[in-house]
Amino acid sequence: MHRALPALLLVLALLAPGLASAQATKVSVESPLMGLARPGDWVPVHIDIAATDPLDGTIRIDFGSSATPAVVRPYSVGRGSAKRISVPVQIPSWIREVNVNVTRGRSRLLAKQTLTATSGASSANNLHVALIGEDPLGFPMLRELEGVPVMGHPDCTEPRQVRVETLLPAQLPQVWFGWTSVDLVVWNRPDPARLSPEQQEALKGWVVSGGTLLVALGDTWRAWDGSPLASLSGAAPSSYGTTDTVFINLAFATGAEIPEKPPVVPVVALEPRGATPRLWAEPGATVPVLVDHRVGAGRTITMGWDPSAGELRGRLVREDVWRALLGFPGTSSLNPRPPLAGPAYLPGVADTVCDGGDYGFSDNADAQHATWLSQLWEVLSRFERANPLPLGFVLIFGFVYLLLIGPVDYFVLRKLKKPMLTWITFPALALGFSVGAAVLITFQKAGDTEVRCAEVVDVFTDQGMARGSGWCSMWSSRRQDLLVLPGRGDGVVLSGGASETEDALSGEARTVMDATRAGLGFKASQWAVANWRDGWVDPLPGGLVAQPTVNGFVVSNRTGIDLDQAWIVHRRRAWPVGSLPDGETATLSGEIVAWTPDLLQPPRAADALWTNAWFDTWRKLDDPWDEHVAALYTHHRPEPVLIGLAHGGVAAPIPDDTNFVTSAHALVRVPLPDLDPEALP
């Protein structure tokens, strides 16, 4: 007993520092938006780590299935500090458990927690609302909407459930794609100073890429006006006063009783700077208190009053106010009045109506987009090395083989009077031709890995932002470990999904995260085709300007993108710009032609990427709802749009390997909101 005591004390002494360190390290996990999880969308998981000693390790998030890629993110925490690490995860279909494992070093487990996701097929059509702040502002009372198009859902369906979450500023996503499970963000009395620069950029990037933001300015309007997010409103707060017009309009729109002396509500006047006025402070006034602004592919609604103001409480039903403002008809009856804040979708996009009301939508867009995507993958995967041997060569090869093992073998051995040698010559010929066939196939398929990509890039000059989507197909000439990152900016890379060709994304595919990007890591098989796609958002100062001058109508390119061909398109009419490299200026000749995608010519007639299938189907990019390019309707936008081609691509998500043979082309779209169509020659 006495001899064992020193050994026991030695063991305890060795373990004590580790035990103390483990006790001093605190890990907590939360995901407030997990309640809005939707299959295919991204939800941020926040991991807070506090440590007394320096700490390095890995965060691994999986879904309890080997068929779904895990998310891996390294972390590092300094001595005596605390750090919040936000890891967006893409929610797979029919997955309820999200397992979060935090390890120290390579394998020592510090914390493990399982979150519950509520994703399912039925959640795809739900309206998801996130409110910044603690007051839900009556949104939970909406409960259910008629199945007509609303923000994020330009389709007709069964009645939609409304799901609401409130977020404190610290809980907001730090990357734009962390918002993709949300259809509408509502921010009452906003104070952007409470957000980190990363959170502000994330919110702006989400709106630019197609999200809808509603801000309600109250007594904090100066904090909003002086922030980097103020440009999203398209209006500048100019004064702060009171009016009874807001209450009268809301009461009329909701069917509420208007008292003889309506309550006076504090309001902020909004001076439009690109936004569309929707409601004025007084009859005949020139400055509105409600504006609607198209921001990139998204939309911002700015209210000049606080919806939680005491003057409105008890006099108006909150959910009825939101139905009237945003066009949320209840399931009992459709609201015949147009939304006070303006339509969710641009006029002209719809080609039919929902039953029971005049709500336009495109009932065939899903099928059209699926067909377009299938054709795009087929075009991208036309690799020379991936094609089979020519049929004529195979027939000749087979004929010679049959000739040798049949008549030639028989007559030669008969002439030599050694027919028993066929037991040797026949296997030898079979083995020789098998080896020869393998050598021929290897020679034909040998060489460098090939990658072909198609991109769509939207440049929003007024916001100094750009967004892009890329689709890539790779012929892998060998087994190799690859990591594919977004082409630029903050973004994600995902598996391209089903294809008619064999998919080489096999074996431990994983999502590799850093602070603002989600890359795709996988093991590529030999002689197989892999598909992937990406979406990104990035600041792009400079932009493109088109304006009339004394020397003619001039188009200046400062986007950093060399356009090999360009056209200005408006209402199915096109003005040729020609080649427009970055930093150059072109003058329109005044020629006008009917717009058709056939105007965009391929760089080479033999280039397999630019086939008739591409020309016939790229226009479907107007309608896809589940891709990053959604919501920019080039043929229906009220302003002109510049459309061009960049041969060589802009930011294709190609693995960093100098031995790859690459081919990329980009379709570039630049809305021109400041250009008066009447000024075009």
Assigned token pair, 346: 């641009």
In tens, the pLDDT along 594-617 reads 877 667 665 554 444 444 444 444
Q: Is the pLDDT of residue 408 over 70?
A: yes
155 has pLDDT over 50? yes
Confidence band, pLDDT 50/70/90 cuts, at residue 398? confident
Last residue of a domain, one of 445, 461, 479: 445
Asked whether residue 644 is assigned to any structural domain, the reply reads: no
In this structure, the answer to whether residues 136 and 220 fall within a common structural domain is yes
Residue 476's SS3 state is strand
Where is pLDDT greater, at 273 or 64? 273
Residue with tokens 């987009």, as numbered in its chain: 369
CATH classification at residue 76? 2.60.40.10
Query: Which residue, 83, 19, 15, is CA-closest to 54?
Result: 83
Find the helix or strand (DSSP H, E) in which 307 lies: none
> Of 426, 445, 464, which closes a domain?
445
Write down the pLDDT at residue 556.
93
Region 437-464 average pLDDT: 78
Q: Which own/partner pairs from 155-158 qualify as long-range (CB within 8 Å, at least 24 positions apart)?
A: 155/125, 155/361, 155/362, 155/363, 155/365, 155/366, 155/625, 156/354, 156/355, 156/359, 156/361, 156/363, 157/125, 158/125
Q: Is the dihedral of CA 219, 223, 226, 232 positive or negative?
A: negative
Give residue-wise pLDDT tens across range 413-426.
777 777 777 787 77
Query: Does residue 352 carry a pLDDT above 80?
Result: no
- pLDDT of the residue at 570: 84
What pLDDT, on a 0 to 100 scale, did the predictor assign at position 507? 45
Task: Give 325's pLDDT tier (boundaries 50, 70, 90).
Answer: very high
- Distance from C-alpha of 562 to C-alpha of 261, rounded to nearest angstrom: 62
Same domain, 166 and 309: yes
Of 51, 61, 105, 116, nearest to 86 (Cα)? 61
Average pLDDT over residues 246-254: 87
What is residue 23's predicted lDDT score, i.e. its pLDDT?
A: 54
How many whole angstroms separate alpha carbon 244 and alpha carbon 130?
29
Whether residues 221 and 107 share a domain: the answer is no
8: left (phi over 0), alpha (psi -120 to 50) or beta: alpha
Residue 43 · residue 61 · CB < 8 Å: no
Mean of per-residue pLDDT scores for the chain: 79
Are 222 and 287 contained in the same domain?
yes
Calculate what percentage of the chain has a pLDDT beyond 70. Answer: 79
In a domain, 254, yes or no: yes
Within this chain, do residues 316 and 431 fall inside the same structural domain, yes or no? Answer: no
Which residue has better confidence, 321 or 414? 321
> Is residue 188 situated within a structural domain?
yes
Domain boundary residue among 97, 117, 137?
Answer: 117
Main-chain phi, psi angles of 492, to 5 degrees: -135, 155
Question: In angstroms, rounded to a whole number, what is the distance separating the alpha carbons of residues 552 and 615?
Answer: 31
pLDDT higher at 510 or 207: 207
Q: In the predicted model, what is the mean pLDDT of residues 118-136?
A: 81
Residue 145 and residue 17 in contact, taking contact as beta carbons nearer than 8 Å: no
Q: How confident is the model at residue 69 (pLDDT cuts 50, 70, 90)?
A: confident
Domain total of the chain: 3
Q: Quick one: pLDDT at residue 526?
A: 78
CA nearest 344: which of 315, 390, 309, 301?
301
pLDDT at 231: 92
CA angle (210 as vertex; 303, 327 as ends), nearest 5: 45
Q: Which helix (H) or strand (E) holds 534?
A: strand 528-539
At 388 the pLDDT is 59
Same domain as 415, residue 301: no
Long-range CB pairs of 404-411, under 8 A, 24+ apart, other chains included:
404/429, 404/433, 405/429, 405/430
Average the pLDDT over 100-104 and give the result: 92
More confident: 260 or 203? 203
CA dihedral 555, 556, 560, 565 (to 10 degrees): 30
Angle (nearest 5°) at CA 155 between 153 and 157: 105
- Residue 624 in any domain: the answer is no
Question: Residues with Cβ < 8 Å from 67, sequence gap 6 or more?
Answer: none
Same domain, 243 and 289: yes
pLDDT digits (tens, 9 = 90+) for 6-47: 555 454 444 444 444 445 789 999 999 998 888 888 899 999
Q: Which residue has the tokens 């226009």?
A: 619
Say which residue, 457 or 421, is predicted with more confidence: 457
Q: How far is CA 563 from the centre of its chain?
A: 24
The answer as to whether 355 is a domain residue is: yes
8 in any annotated domain: no
- CATH number of 243's domain: 3.40.50
Stretch 424-429: mean pLDDT: 79
Helix axes 422-445, 391-403, angle to 10 degrees: 170
Confidence of residue 627 (pLDDT cuts 50, 70, 90): very low
Q: What is the CA radius of gyration of the chain?
A: 31
Do residue 167 and residue 274 come from a single domain?
A: yes
Q: Residues 650-673: what's their mean pLDDT?
A: 84
On whether both 271 and 206 belong to a single domain, the answer is: yes
| Half-sphere exposure in the Cβ direction for 507 (13 Å, CA) | 11
Q: How high is the pLDDT of residue 122?
A: 55
* Amino acid, single-letter form, for residue 115: L
Angle of the 245-254 helix axis to the 318-326 helix axis, nearest 10: 90
* 322 shares a domain with 255: yes
* CA 196/CA 173 separation, integer angstroms: 10
Confirm whether 638 is domain-assigned. Answer: no
Is 72 in the same domain as 103?
A: yes
pLDDT at 274 over 90: no
- Cα dihedral 625, 629, 634, 637, rounded to 10, equals 70
Half-sphere exposure of 144 (CA within 13 A, CB side): 7
pLDDT for the residue numbered 385: 61
**Residues spanned by the domain of 106:** 26-117
The predicted pLDDT at position 234 comes to 92
Neighbours of 354 (CB within 10 A): 19
Give residue-wise pLDDT tens across range 538-593: 999 888 998 888 878 889 999 999 998 898 888 778 899 989 999 999 988 878 88
Number of separate helices (H) and strands (E) present in the chain: 10, 34
Name the most confidently modeled range: 317-326, 362-371, 601-610.
317-326
pLDDT band at 119 (very low <50, low <70, confident <90, very high): low
* Phi, psi (deg, nearest 5) at residue 362: -110, 105
Do residues 438 and 340 both lie within one domain? no
Burial class (CB in 10 A: 0-12, 13-18, 19+), 190: buried
Average pLDDT over residues 365-382: 70
Question: How many whole angstroms separate alpha carbon 241 and alpha carbon 268?
Answer: 6
Q: How many percent of the chain have pLDDT more than 90?
A: 24
pLDDT of 575-585, one tens digit each?
999 899 999 99
Identify the burial level of 352 via C-beta atoms within 10 angstroms of its C-beta, where 0-12 means exposed, 13-18 middle and 19 or more buried.
exposed
